[in-house]
Structure 1
Amino acid sequence: MSDLSRKPPLTVRLCEPRGFCAGVDRAIQIVVLALKKYGAPVYVRHEIVHNRYVVEGLKNMGAVFVEELDDVPADGQPVVFSAHGVPKSVPAAAEARQLLYLDATCPLVSKVHKQAMRHVRLGRHVLLIGHRGHPEVIGTMGQLPEGTVSLIETEADVATFVPPEGMELGFVTQTTLSVEDTAGIIAALQAKFPTLQHPSTESICYATTNRQDAVKAAAPGADLFLIVGAPNSSNSRRLVEVAERAGAQASALVEGAKDIPWEGIVAGGTIAVSAGASAPEVLVDELFSAFRERFDVRIELTRTAEENERFLVMRDLRDLPLTVDDMAFVNGRGRA
């Protein structure tokens, strides 16, 4: 090969772990198995996870996505609740209409629900650290009686918050937050309210922490850090922020290869790549295919943890067989 035809070099640091977590894997599997058991359509309230590729793939299999239960006809077909969790009022409404429903709430989100309810049971007012309007926050607040929970988004909210008179305080957090941002808010809360009670276990989930740790390790010296994920994915957006704080010169959220900012990628440079917990690996593969078309790619693997967690689906679906293609899609490695 002549010098003129040789591709310029590019170093790509690939983070591990990245992409699908056990909760996302379980939620997608529930929809696929429900389609096998009940046939199409299977209704899904809101996006099962925050990723357009996953949603479109499930639509192609026969899933129908709806905004609210009112959009689900009483045709005997099941409705699946998303991995982010739902307020108690949603399954109650489904039962009132005698709808068959399957709850795909991530077990780690359900754990936060239980922690919040424990605070209330012990007579505490709950402070939920999270982002207003996020489905997980709506679901968690919807577990609790009205007036027993307050949302804290920033340290500025801590400064202005006035607790109910005479009540102890306990906090929980959204599972997908930045570890550093949350630590700052918790420190501010503890300084203002020294008797503040922690949840019984950590609220930010292992997958969020692991992906942020890998990004921190890969970021120093990177010219550009690309995070594969959806614009409405909280954990993916947090990874973009973490990358820049940890030393990447720039970072960007991309949904796929079509969004690669080529102007920020130079020959001989170093870019880093990770993916949010709801982003399938097939989209990362497409990024690398695009890189290799233009560059002689050298891969550096940045591994900070090994994940072996698996969350079982509900018993009624557990024994249904999945094809090789089904499993590839559920694991984020194939197309529907």
Structure 2
Amino acid sequence: MHAPEKLLLAAPRGYCAGVDRAVQTVERALELHGAPVYVRKEIVHNKHVVETLRERGAIFVDELDDTIPEGALTVFSAHGVSPAVHADAERRQLKTIDATCPLVTKVHREAIKFAAEGYTIVLIGHAGHEEVEGTMGEAPDHIVLIESEADVDALEVEDERKLAYINQTTLSVDETRGIIARLREKFPHITGPRTDDICYATTNRQAAVRQMADRCDLVLVIGSKNSSNSNRLVDVARDLGTPSYLIDNASQIDEAWLTPDTKVVGVSSGASVPEELVDDLVAFFRERGTQDVSEFEVLREDVRFMLPKQIRQAMTAAAEA
């Protein structure tokens, strides 16, 4: 295997504030209440994180079905849930902690507001993604999902003057910009959120890869296959003509990607990826002879979100006990 001469580590990369908050929520819940703590869906879209929490006593379930005992402590994932899920949890008397990312909650509020005002809402997002399902559940009779500019061309609405758009937080910045432009062109009266729905972390990680990619012969993105924001980082690099692959960890590197011409390898990681997986990848290349490892910093992030109220209150009570 040919070791690259240089590794560039995109910054920012890895954990965003919403993921950090969600993972810490499950960790603190386990510390404060003991195992098991039930989690609806994967807390974040990362295999490593899910496995680590499972080993500590978290039980991941697809739905709030009979596998969760009545009254059990249950955490909702960072991607958000629909009102129907909240109602289901209440009916089963589950003690719930909502770890929905505040930036996803913002999109839910926009959906509720536009629906209350009688708008047809165009949701730009990926069908089947948990975040999209949660958002659509806020106003199912008002929301139409679109995934591409072609979907905009095919879109027909009853009243063009009562039309609004919102979007999934982890989409491609460029692609979404194109879809919104097409919407505005076709429906000049369309209204949107006051501020962009694509979250700061998605935007920043894509910006770092965009600036780094043309200096690289290969870009490796650490992230799980079901992680929307990780997949978009691969797309950003490929759109600029740089070969790029999504890997869960260093063991998934294909030696065929590393030819004698692969001198500089760029590394980034999705917003739900712990830094230890990047460290492992760096160690993998160092062991094979790569000596030059440097950060490619585009900007610094200092966003932090408070933990959910129930966790903060329980931590305070435990400290005072």
Q: TM-score, normalised by structure 1?
A: 0.90
Letter of the 2:80 counterpart: G
Q: Displaced runs of 4+ in structure 1, greater than 4 A?
A: none
Q: Check the 8 A contact 1:125/1:167 in 2, yes or no.
A: no
One-letter code aligned to 2:122: L
SS of match in other structure, 2:27: helix
Deviation at 1:54, TM superposition (A): 0.4
* SS state at 1:76 partner: coil
Aligned mates of 1:149, 1:315 — CA distance in 2: 30
* One of 164, 177, 182 as aligned partner of 2:176: 182
Computed over aligned residues only, the root mean square deviation of the Cα atoms, in angstroms, reads 1.6
- Work out the CA distance in 2 between the residues paired with 1:8 and 1:257: 13
Residue in 2 that maps onto 1:137: 132
Give 2:104's aligned amino acid: V
Displacement of 1:261 in angstroms is 2.1
By how many angstroms is 1:28 displaced?
A: 0.5
> d(CA) in 1 for partners of 2:61 and 2:42?
8
What does the per-residue CA deviation read over 1:158-217, in whole Å, with 9 as the maximum and x for residues that have no partner? Answer: 011111246510000100000010011111111100001011211000000000000001
2:251 to 249, 258, 263: 258
CA contact (8 A) 1:9 1:296 kept: yes
- Mapping for residues 53-202 of structure 1, pairs under 5 Å: 53-144=48-139, 146-165=140-159, 168-202=162-196
**Distance of 1:71 and 1:284 partners within structure 2:** 38
Please point out which of 8, 15, 20 is paired with 2:10. Answer: 15
Verify the 8 A CA contact 2:225 2:246 in the aligned structure 1.
yes
The residue that corresponds to 2:33 in the other structure is 38
Q: Partners in 1 of 2:215 and 2:208 — Cα distance?
A: 14
In the aligned structure 1, how far is the partner of 2:6 from the partner of 2:31? 43
Structure 1 residue 293, shift from structure 2 partner: 1.1
Deviation at 1:302, TM superposition (A): 1.3
Question: Aligned partners of 1:308 and 1:182: how far apart in 2?
Answer: 25
| Distance in structure 1 (CA, Å) of the matches to 2:171 and 2:289 | 35
Gaps of 5+ in 1: 1-6, 322-336
Q: Percent identity?
A: 49
Gaps of 5+ in 2: 317-321
Specify the alignment match of 2:319 in structure 1.
none
Cα shift readout 1:276-304 (whole Å, capped 9, x = no counterpart):
00111111111111101112321232111
2:286 aligned partner: 292
Change (3 A) 1:48 1:62: same
Structure 1 residue 264: Cα displacement: 1.7
Deviation at 1:116, TM superposition (A): 1.6
SS at match of 1:227: strand
**Alpha-carbon contact 1:123-1:167 (below 8 Å) kept:** no
CA distance in 2, matches of 1:294, 1:73: 47
Letter in 2 for 1:300: S
296-305 or 152-161: bigger deviation? 296-305
2:297 to 278, 293, 303: 303
Q: In structure 2, what is the Cα distance between the partners aligned to 1:92 and 1:318?
A: 24
The match for 1:313 among 292, 302, 307 is 307
Counterpart Cα distance in 1 of 2:33 and 2:71? 9
Decide whether the 8 Å contact of 1:115 with 1:200 is kept in 2. Answer: no
Letter in 2 for 1:92: A
Kept in 1: contact 2:38–2:68 (CA 8 A): no
Question: Is residue 11–residue 270 contact of structure 1 (8 Å, CA) maintained in 2?
Answer: yes
If the length of structure 2 is used for normalisation, what is the TM-score?
0.94
Q: 1:215 aligns with which of 209, 215, 220?
A: 209
- Equivalent residue number for residue 24 of structure 1: 19
Q: SS of the residue aligned with 1:65?
A: strand
Q: Which amino acid aligns with 1:204?
A: I
Residues 26-79 of structure 1: per-residue CA shift (max 9 Å, x gap): 000111111112111000011000011000000011000111101443353201
Tell me, what secondary structure is at the counterpart of 1:28? helix
- Structure 1 residue 263, shift from structure 2 partner: 2.0
1:48 and 2:39 aligned = no
